[in-house]
Amino acid sequence: MRASRKSRWVSWLTDGSTPFIVGGYAASALYALVVLIPLYYVVVSAFKTNLTIFTQPLALPKTLSFFNFIRAQEVAVLNRAMLISVGVTVGAEIVTLLLAFPAAYAIARIRTRLAPLFEYIFSLGFLIPALAMLVPVYLMVVKLGLLYQPVSLVIFYPATKLSVTVILLASYLRTIPLELEESAQLDGASRLQMLLYVFFPLARPGVITVLILNFIDFWNEYLFALILLNQRNRTLQIALTIIKTDRSMDYGLVSAGIVMVVIPVCIVFILFQEQIVKGIYAGALKG
């Protein structure tokens, strides 16, 4: 093992591809630096006062003070926003799964000519940009009397992710080899049992992937949360942008807010990096 590793090192130092490899490392390092410096800047600023942010932007904080975090919470009522963000995200996740899993099962496992048609209609969702639906959805929510209610997001968010969720789950369910239902005698009731007790446990990895992907999108959503909710019921994403306008130049506060908003997704990313990349890649391929 060690020997082969060493010979690999030796071979790439001598095989004539060195200029490309060196250039590749240089370009990667440059981009990595351009990515990391702003992130570092935000994290250290969260622990500094505005004065030290402006005079020594890149210096490490002298003390680990959570002052900014406490004040950010006071200025933008972040704990209420956090509660609403969690509620909306969890609610939308549940609705999405309740709708998408049976549909994915039907498309993948019930042989009828409707299945490819439905899959095609769902795939059209990739072509509809959120921005195009902004005004019509706003008007629909007003009509339903749900404007400024977080539940409006719990109802609307699942629709935006049904396309990719149904299609990813269906393609996952197709990989499960199962001759059970081939007796073709099943009615709705026995299919429901099979879905619950056979397919759902078997499909756990696929379900977890779509849950993670949808978590990131629901948690991070900005545009609809902005127009469908009001000051009292805002999500974390909206509250974050309020910190800026309330105290126009206090970047310590803003940084503390950014850190609080980004941390949940970062933890999920660190834990599930493989699934996230694979899921987004598969979703892009289907679109």
Partner 1 sequence: MELSPIEESAGKPDVLAGRPTHQRRNQMKRRVAFLLFSAPAMAWFLIWMLWPLINMFWISLLRWDGLVKKSTFIGLANYQRILSDVLFQHALRNTAIHLAVGLPAVLIPAFILGFFLSLRRPGFRTLRFIFFLPAMISVAALAMMFYGIYMPEGILNAMLRLVGLGAWTHNWLADPSTVLGSIIFIDIWTGIGFYAVLFFAVLSNISGELYEAARLDGASLWTILWRIAFPLSRGFFGVATMLHFLWILTGAAQNVLILTKGGPGDYSLTLGYYLYNQAFVVQRLGYSQAIGVFLFVVGLVGLVLIRRIFGQTD
CB 230, min distance to partner 1, A: 13
Contacts of partner 1 in 147-176 (CB under 8 A) = 155-156, 158-160, 162-163, 166
Residue 241: both structure tokens together = 């942008």
* Secondary structure letter of residue 199 according to DSSP: I
Binding of residue 180 to partner 1 (CB under 8 A): no
Return the range that interacts with partner 1 (CB under 8 A); candidates 66-74, 76-84, 198-206, 260-268: 260-268
Residue from 14, 34, 63, 64 touching partner 1 (CB under 8 A): that is: 34
Q: Could you tell me which stretch among 60-68, 86-94, 199-207, 251-259 binds partner 1 (CB under 8 A)?
A: 251-259
Q: Copy the structure tokens of residue 244.
A: 């800026």
Name residue, tokens 């968010």.
157
Residue 27 near partner 1 by CB under 8 A = yes
Considering only residues 6, 10, 13, 36, which one is a binding residue for partner 1 as defined by CB under 8 A? 36
How far apart are CB 227 and partner 1 at their closest, in Å? 6
Applying CB under 8 A, the span of 71-79, 86-94, 196-204, 212-220 interacting with partner 1 comes to 212-220
Q: Where are the beta strands (DSSP E) in 10-94?
A: none
Burial 30-59 (b: 16+ CB within 10 A, else e): eeeeeeeeeeeebebbbbbbbebbeeeeee
2 vs 111 by CB, closer to partner 1: 111
Write out the binding residues for partner 1, residues 45-64 only, by CB under 8 A: 45, 53-54, 57-58
How far is residue 76's CA from residue 7's CA, in Å, rounded to a whole number? Answer: 58
The owner of tokens 């498309």 is: 107
Secondary structure, 3-state, 1-33: CHHHHHHHHHHHHHCCCHHHHHHHHHHHHHHHH
CA distance 92 to 219: 10
Q: Decide if residue 37 touches partner 1 (CB under 8 A).
A: yes
